[in-house]
Amino acid sequence: MNEAVLEKLKILAESAKYDVSCASSGTSRRNTSSGIGSATGWGICHSFAEDGRCISLLKIMLTNHCIYDCAYCINRRSNDLKRATFSVTELVNLTIEFYRRNYIEGLFLSSGVVRNPDYTMERLVRVAKELRLNHRYNGYIHLKSIPGASRELINEAGLYADRLSVNIEIPNEQSLQLLAPDKNFQSVFTPMRYIRQGILENLEDRKKFRKVPRFAPAGQSTQMIIGASPDQDKDILHLSSALYQRPTLKRVYYSGFVPVNEYDPRLPALKQPPLVRENRLYQADWLMRFYHFKAEEIANEAYPDLDLEIDPKLAWALRHPEKFPVDINKADYEMILRVPGIGVKSAKLILVSRRYGKLGSQQLQKMGIVLKKARYFITCQELPYQTIQEIHPDQVRKILTNKNTGRKREDPRQLKLQFEDD
């Protein structure tokens, strides 16, 4: 360890930062005697970078040399930037020392492709292997599977890593071919299939023999870049929903495109990364995973793109006024979940609490329901509000998107009549 490592760390962290995945959850491993580290089920964020994103893993590349020339990638072959390569020992030591100081929860290792996919993959696997076997390290390891790597190497990677991931990057095959001529969907989906098969076979084996070592217990994840190609939100969400339906895929990450290679005419000229759109996509993703929404309910032919002004749940509610108001004291869980302003936690709180007595708006507010939003969509014990049935959805939208500057706060006791031209 010396000053040279500092320079390498700088270069390779800069190269790795556009990969958004940083989860350290989904696996639980206790420390072994004389070993180091553990993995808690939900993962811990040890720091937050100045862009507000969590730093849970040492997110780093083994090397940023690459034989590919993908238009959206900062490490593309034709870019003139500083290149560096870690040796396996350097990286292993760095991980262990950071881990011992409680800086990180584990390692997220990715790499540019050097020589060929198998050569690169083999080096990634060696890092994980050394950590697990020589250092008895039990913390989290996330390995990137290199598209085109052989099945044997992916199987070996699964034995040491908690999570494996392959990035789709561009949600549409034609666009992918245009931007990354060396890649196609097959090169992405084949390793995904290998990982899936590895995990499922391992689950079968573990049913028979308890001592079988686990294979990538935290499943796999993938990432899509948003805004680098002309794809619509409905296509993106349909692809994610199809991916989630296959077993073992835990997360799809959306990464707002940061224009790193501005000179490339194949890319759109963006002033700023599409942060709001990225946020809306995550919200839609959450609706699919935790709120039992289907992709076509969120975005479809009639509404191909998500509304940037309001969140997708509210947008759905405004398109379906016939489903509301929902009676908090009677409705089932599924329907309560669909009310804007009520999250999974508060929906569950409502469910257990209403056995003891009817709930009123005061109690709802204290439980953490956003009444400002929810009031138009619910009825409860008392609630003299006008709901979406009395006010037109367009009016509700207007009220909720109205940015009150706070200069003239309205008195909540004052009954307000809604007029069309208001």
From 32-40, 190-198, 296-304, 311-319, span contacting other proteins (CB under 8 A): 32-40
Give CA–CA dist 316/384, Å, rounded: 24
414 forms part of the interface with other proteins (CB under 8 A): no
- Judged by DSSP in three states, 363 sits in helix
Tell me how many degrees the CA angle 171-174-177 measures, rounded to the nearest 5: 95
256 forms part of the interface with other proteins (CB under 8 A): yes
Q: Please list the residues that pair with 326 across neighbouring strands.
A: 378
Beta strands in 15-172 (DSSP E): 47-48, 54-55, 57-61, 106-110, 140-144, 163-165
* 325 cis-preceded (ω within 30 degrees of 0): yes
8 Å CB contact between 260 and 228: no
Nearer to other proteins, 181 or 368 (CB): 368
φ and ψ of 110, to 5 deg: -135, 175
Tokens of 293: 């929404």
263 forms part of the interface with other proteins (CB under 8 A): no
Residues 6+ apart with CB under 8 A from 206: 212, 214
φ and ψ of 189, to 5 deg: -75, -25
8 Å CB contact between 380 and 360: yes
Least separation, in Å, of the C-beta of 49 and other proteins?
4
Nearer to other proteins, 55 or 370 (CB): 55
283 forms part of the interface with other proteins (CB under 8 A): no
Figure out which of the listed residues 28, 47, 186, 418 binds other proteins, where binding follows CB under 8 A.
47
Tokens of 264: 């490339």
353 forms part of the interface with other proteins (CB under 8 A): yes
8 Å CB contact between 283 and 237: no
Least separation, in Å, of the C-beta of 236 and other proteins?
20
45 forms part of the interface with other proteins (CB under 8 A): yes
Figure out which of the listed residues 363, 373, 374, 376 binds other proteins, where binding follows CB under 8 A.
363
44 forms part of the interface with other proteins (CB under 8 A): yes
Tokens of 39: 């993995």
403 forms part of the interface with other proteins (CB under 8 A): no
Q: Give the closest residue to 215 by CA, choosing from 163, 142, 153.
A: 163
30 forms part of the interface with other proteins (CB under 8 A): yes
Nearer to other proteins, 302 or 352 (CB): 352
Tokens of 405: 């500057």
Q: Give me the half-sphere count of Cα atoms (radius 13 Å) on the Cβ side of residue 182.
A: 16
Q: Give the closest residue to 308 by CA, choosing from 368, 372, 233, 382.
A: 233
Least separation, in Å, of the C-beta of 359 and other proteins?
6
From 55-63, 219-227, 284-292, 383-391, span contacting other proteins (CB under 8 A): 55-63
From 48-56, 188-196, 207-215, 409-417, span contacting other proteins (CB under 8 A): 48-56
Figure out which of the listed residues 133, 200, 275, 276 binds other proteins, where binding follows CB under 8 A.
275
Residues 75-114 that bind other proteins (CB under 8 A): 94, 97-98, 100-103
268 forms part of the interface with other proteins (CB under 8 A): no
- Judged by DSSP in three states, 178 sits in helix
Least separation, in Å, of the C-beta of 392 and other proteins?
33
33 forms part of the interface with other proteins (CB under 8 A): yes
Figure out which of the listed residues 14, 69, 122, 173 binds other proteins, where binding follows CB under 8 A.
14
Nearer to other proteins, 271 or 408 (CB): 271
Give CA–CA dist 333/345, Å, rounded: 11
> What residue ranges bind other proteins (CB under 8 A)?
1-2, 5-6, 9-10, 13-14, 16-18, 30-31, 33-38, 40, 44-55, 58-59, 94, 97-98, 100-103, 256, 258, 272-273, 275, 349, 352-357, 359, 363, 366-367
